[in-house]
Amino acid sequence: MKIGYLGPKGTFSFQVAKKYYKSAELVEFNTILEVIIGLKNEEIDEAVVPIENSIQGGVTETIDAIIENDGIFVNKEIKMKINQNLLANKKYKLNEIKELYSHPQAIAQCRKYIDQNLKNAKIIKVSSTAFAAKEITQKDYCACIANISCLEEYGLQLLGKNIQDNDFNTTKFWILSKREINNGNKMSLIFSTKHKPGALYQVLGVFNKNQINLTKIESRPAKTKLGEYIFLVDLDINENINKVMQELNNECNYLKVLGRYEEI
Amino acid sequence: MKIGYLGPKGTFSFQVAKKYYKSAELVEFNTILEVIIGLKNEEIDEAVVPIENSIQGGVTETIDAIIENDGIFVNKEIKMKINQNLLANKKYKLNEIKELYSHPQAIAQCRKYIDQNLKNAKIIKVSSTAFAAKEITQKDYCACIANISCLEEYGLQLLGKNIQDNDFNTTKFWILSKREINNGNKMSLIFSTKHKPGALYQVLGVFNKNQINLTKIESRPAKTKLGEYIFLVDLDINENINKVMQELNNECNYLKVLGRYEEI
């Protein structure tokens, strides 16, 4: 079985993939969109993608790629605590660091630490924390923010451990495939509302009167004009779910089930 | 009067600031958070910040900075159509470009164009489109995605005009100050709901029964744990607004008015 993830080796997605799949072949991609298109084109059987972080919020690249590509289903949810670290190729002092490489979300997660300790560093945003680690292996006076597995993977030195601003830093990952497994107590949907005042309230009313608890609601632009949105909701299933789906079909302009699944 | 914006010269924020303030002194900052802290510390009198893009959605750096810093109010809303362009220091062919510099949102806005035309280019994400333009002035075989004003500002050549994937590309900017002007037909609020099922539905019910139309709702993580959110809503004011505010005070755990303002 082939599993796609946002590479290179050493990303948080890679860590999740290694932990969840003991013996599968891991296939790296350069962007989250490429992971999902790889799944659609059957280059891989399943994919591990980050969907939400407790500090940065929804991973919009993942959400938009799932909205735009039909036939992709959520099979499992996995949560992972995120610890960020400052790594470099030698044991520099913090004020010697001239360039800091990392993914924009990791930089945002360590904003206070950077402001206090790395005032002389130019910030260079790259596509993943592991790519940042790979990038600095030959660069003197440069550092990266990455997960601890990159220390060994790329032969780096530890300059700062657990440097994230907020210790409640958890990322939720989804395992995606082209199969709808339809099993578990969670469900994710995307929908757009009718164009009338109170339309979102009407849709939420369907969940409310059927005692369905929404655990998350997120809006994404419909990409047509300002003020039109697609909503992504996560919910806990109960015995009313089939009735809810019928009622939602009447209330929504557009409705798609991303999957029924469980957390592992 | 001093006006802060996300620099350097040539950003979309700079363009808006120049258009709106004919004779004020424009002060550039390196990040949106620094603009807002500059306003809080009275280094500047007003600030121009991007709040939402029709394709990329809410500008989370702006939203989070406003949530975290009290005493900052929305005074005006300005919409601007966003056109992106491919610029370089010489007239290269597209397949000769080895590195592409831009802001992550601009890269996302031109994803299809990049995938089709710039397959050989390594993508380097920087803090603003104008910074990207400044960065490549001396770099051969490098290009940037930036607004057309950078052509003249940095003496560059035009390789591709209006290269964004989607022509409905508009950004909404807010003019912020420490004064609450309390005038206009729009209002923005942030709130968190009580911790019980259906809590968001109850809050939206307050707007609905008072015929208040929400033009936007966006969730941001509360940064405590996964599944707790702060909501940002924009609404059109009507004669019930004072009653609405009283009822919201009862329904919400936390409620803050970001401002009553108008679009110009």
Q: What CATH number does residue A137 fall under?
A: 3.40.190.10
What pLDDT is attached to residue A89?
97
- Tell me whether residue B240 is exposed, middle or buried, using C-beta atoms within 10 angstroms of its C-beta: 0 to 12, 13 to 18, 19 or more: middle
Binding-face residues of A in 165-204 toward B, CB within 8 A? 166, 168, 170, 172, 197-198, 200-201, 204
Say whether both B75 and B135 belong to one domain: no
How long a stretch of residues is chain B?
A: 264
A243 contact partners, CB below 8 Å, separation of at least 6: A210
Say whether both A19 and A144 belong to one domain: no
The total number of structural domains in chain B stands at 3
Q: Give the helix/strand (H/E) hosting A44.
A: none
What pLDDT is attached to residue B161?
96
Say whether both A72 and A113 belong to one domain: no
Q: Which of A174, A194, A204 to mutate to test the interface with B (most CBs of B within 10 A)?
A: A204
Q: Which of B31, B102, B204, B214 to mutate to test the interface with A (most CBs of A within 10 A)?
A: B204
The 3-state DSSP class for residue A222 equals coil
Q: Are A219 and B216 a contacting pair at CB < 8 A? A: yes
What pLDDT is attached to residue B223?
82
Say whether both B197 and B254 belong to one domain: yes
Binding-face residues of A in 37-96 toward B, CB within 8 A? 52-57, 60-61, 79
What average pLDDT does range A129-133 have in this prediction? 92
Q: Are B170 and A227 a contacting pair at CB < 8 A? A: no
Predicted confidence (pLDDT) at residue B49 exceeds the cutoff of 90: yes
**Beta-ladder partners of A99:** A122, A142
Say whether both A25 and A36 belong to one domain: yes
The minimal CB distance from B168 to the residues A125, A213, A224 is found for: A224
Maximum mean pLDDT: which of A104-113, A165-174, B83-92: B83-92
State whether residue B125 sits within 8 Å of chain A by CB.
Answer: yes
Say which CATH number the domain at B217 has: 3.30.70.260
Confidence bin at B94 (pLDDT 50/70/90):
very high
Predicted confidence (pLDDT) at residue B41 exceeds the cutoff of 90: yes
Cβ-based contacts of B170 with chain A (< 8 Å): 225-226
Predicted confidence (pLDDT) at residue B225 exceeds the cutoff of 80: no
Say whether both B46 and B173 belong to one domain: yes
Burial pattern A138-152, b for ≥16 Cβ within 10 A else e, equals eeeebbbbbbbbbbe
Cβ-based contacts of B200 with chain A (< 8 Å): 204, 214, 217
Q: Give CA–CA dist A201/A230, Å, rounded.
A: 14
Q: How far is CA A130 from CA A30, A79, A218, B57, in A?
A: 11, 19, 28, 27
Say whether both A77 and A92 belong to one domain: no
Confidence bin at B191 (pLDDT 50/70/90):
very high
Q: Give CA–CA dist B51/B63, Å, rounded.
A: 7
ipTM score assigned to the predicted complex? 0.81
Predicted confidence (pLDDT) at residue B79 exceeds the cutoff of 90: yes
Say whether both A57 and A173 belong to one domain: yes
User: How high does pLDDT run on average in chain A?
Assistant: 93
Cβ-based contacts of A223 with chain B (< 8 Å): 54-55, 166, 168
Q: Give CA–CA dist A84/A81, Å, rounded.
A: 10
How far off is chain A from B159, nearest CA to CA, in Å?
A: 24
Q: Are B104 and A104 a contacting pair at CB < 8 A? A: yes
Greater model confidence, A45 or A57: A45
Cβ-based contacts of B197 with chain A (< 8 Å): 211, 213
Predicted confidence (pLDDT) at residue A224 exceeds the cutoff of 80: no
Q: How confident is the model over A146-199, as pLDDT tens digits?
A: 998 899 889 999 999 999 988 788 999 999 999 999 999 999 999 999 888 889
Confidence bin at B244 (pLDDT 50/70/90):
very high
Which two structure tokens, joined as six digits, stand for B250? 């009862």
Count the Cβ atoms, other than its own, within 10 Å of residue B45.
16
**Domain termination residue (choose one: A148, A177, A206):** A177
What pLDDT is attached to residue A103?
86
* Residue-by-residue DSSP string for chain B: -EEEEESSTTSHHHHHHHHH-SSPEEEEESSHHHHHHHHHTTSSSEEEEEEEETTTEE-HHHHHHHHHSSS-EEEEEEEEE---EEEESS---GGG--EEEE-HHHHHHTHHHHHHH-TTPEEEE-S-HHHHHHHHTT-TTEEEEE-THHHHHTT-EEEESS--S-S--EEEEEEEESS----SSEEEEEEEE-SSTTHHHHHHHHHHHTTPEEEEEEEEE-SSSTT-EEEEEEEE--TTHHHHHHHHHHHEEEEEEEEEEEE-
Cβ proximity of B35 and B4 under 8 Å: yes
What average pLDDT does range A206-215 have in this prediction? 94
- How large is the angle between the packed helices A32-40 and A60-68, nearest 10 degrees? 30
How far off is chain A from B197, nearest CA to CA, in Å?
A: 5
Domain interval for residue A107: 85-160
Closest CA to B174 of B74, B59, B26, B39: B74
Binding-face residues of B in 18-47 toward A, CB within 8 A? 33
Greater model confidence, B114 or A9: B114
* Residue-by-residue DSSP string for B98-164: -EEEE-HHHHHHTHHHHHHH-TTPEEEE-S-HHHHHHHHTT-TTEEEEE-THHHHHTT-EEEESS--
What pLDDT is attached to residue A200?
94
A164 contact partners, CB below 8 Å, separation of at least 6: A55, A82, A83, A84, A109, A110, A113
**Domain termination residue (choose one: B160, B194, B223):** B160
Cβ proximity of B209 and B242 under 8 Å: no
Say whether both A125 and A238 belong to one domain: no
What average pLDDT does range B62-88 have in this prediction? 95
Say whether both A37 and A63 belong to one domain: yes
Say whether both B173 and B68 belong to one domain: yes
Predicted confidence (pLDDT) at residue A68 exceeds the cutoff of 80: yes
What's this model's pTM, rounded to 2 decimal places? Answer: 0.84
The minimal CB distance from A226 to the residues B79, B104, B211 is found for: B79
pLDDT more than 70, % of chain A: 100
Say whether both B27 and B66 belong to one domain: yes
User: How high does pLDDT run on average in chain B?
Assistant: 93
What pLDDT is attached to residue A169?
86
